[in-house]
Chain A
Amino acid sequence: MTAENRIDPKLVEEFLKFGRNLAEAPKIVPAPDEINLEVSPHEVAYTEDKVRLLHYKPLTTKQSRTPLIIAYAIINRYHILDIHPKKSWVRNLLNQGIDVYMIDWGTPTNLDKYLDLDDYVNVYLDNCVDFVRDENDVDQVSLQGYCTGGTISTAYCALHPEKIRNFVATAPVIDGWRDTTVVSNLAKHIDVDKMVDTIGNMPPEFMYYCFSILKPFEQGIEKYANFFRNIENQSFVDNFLRVEKWLCDTPPIPGALFKQWIKDIYQDNLLIQNKMYVGGKHVSLENIKMPIFTQVAVGDHLVSPECSMPLHYAVRSEDKTLRVYPTGHVGMIASSLSQTKVLPELGQWLKEHS
């Protein structure tokens, strides 16, 4: 008996099918450029420089009194929070009667290379908060920060606590020394002064390199093999392409912001030690006394739970909730689990605190 005869015909058929799928894919699957990532209807309520504040149209007749502003991260774009009608973070909150605003930080150019944390916290975010307070005639708003947006929001809540009624921190980057991810290892070893002085803004390609070394074989090979195995599953393909398009679209990060970010959070770890300054103002987590809802994911390989959770223990809030979910960084905000578990809990909490 030869070696060829021992191979299972089903295995051969599987390989042949995979080959056929590769050839058929362009006929069945839309090109990523043809996919529109904007799902829920919204209007641009406020703009400043390249920053836009989006206001989503309500989906319920009655809405909660306190509007929610979502400060998205500085890496990738806000679309992930409204990536697919069935997995949309924004749409879920709208359906629960929350009035949702979202900050789109825009695409910085060389002209913006000197924008720093002070601009993001004390100018852009502060002006967005003031706009929403004025538009809704309320003294305080709810603020949610995701990932690096969680850090910006944390600094904001510490510096402007009087304007924030509730704070939602979703996978925030807080304690850089406890972060066990490979991203944090790279961040700790780069000469960020030299980097920013030489190239100015942090190019998207640098971020793509960082993404590429996160689970390189699962994400770099198996994920795409799985895609070609499932090209006939329209729902799977649609969701896959949306997330892929989002992943491959990250704006540059302003040089001064990136420098302060890497040094203060990952290298010197100033925020959790209450030693950080933004625009000359001391950021003390002890100033955060409003109700806080912290969400972390056990399988987060971009911001490890050990990095996010210290926020829960460092703030002075009496009303504080910590939720740990069995998912990853993106899974927490754009998955079936987020729709069935994460968002219902958050919506309930927001309504109770509105």
Chain B
Amino acid sequence: MSYRFALLLGSLMASFALPQAFALPQAYVTNEKDNTLSVIDMTTFDVVETIEVGERPRGFILSADQSHAYICASDADRIQIMDLSTHSIVGDLPSGADPETIALHPNGTTIYTANEDDALLTVIDIPTAQVISQIDVGVEPEGLAVSHDGSMMVVTSETTNMVHWIDTKTHENIANSLVDARPRDAHFTRDDKYLWVSSEIGGTVSIFETATKQKVKTLSFAIKDVYRDKVQPFGIVRLKNRPYASLALGPHNRITCYTTDHFAVEYVIVVCRPL
């Protein structure tokens, strides 16, 4: 676990990304109370630019070719498109009300966004800038994940405590699985065999087999001298080219690394609350 990685998780960010098109790696951080986007130079960790964007920017992703970024401007009820070479907003997409999080289908042309206040998932076609479908999901949808083969996507709902499985061809909600309280982040494993879902208040990570949509394992975390209600798993990040994933564990300043095959757990203490 490098210092750089720990710092990334520890920052007060809603989202970040490292576009590979740039010679120098940069991170983008949406500032929801400032209506801006901070650009951080990842070699010096300095903020090198602050860009004004739409109201209450939250979710942020890069386009498939990493030339553009899509930003959820929650209070503007739009998704903004930013050209990464000029850092200017070049267009926007309809999103339904209050888009919070955002995910891109591997086809590069379909975007999913969670409409937190309306218990909806909105599917948007980028080339035509049209809403293709709105799907009823649970209360406060949050975590989005699209399988690598593009056939399936999931959305977690924080208050309904469910994972909603969506068929990406038909836009149908095909199944709903209960998880522990306040599910936040969701990730498919690289081979799409499993889905990992973190439950912040429940203090667990649920692992589902994608084919059967059955829960196959629940990870819980017993940390010495930390009361169980402070173990709040949230962000899941897969480490590039390594069989590890990392998980932020909330207010007692720890992240954990585990191998994705046999779930061995290792705790790492970081400097401030990893979100």
Q: Do A and B bind each other?
A: no
Q: Contact residues of B with A, CB < 8 Å?
A: none
Q: Contact residues of A with B, CB < 8 Å?
A: none
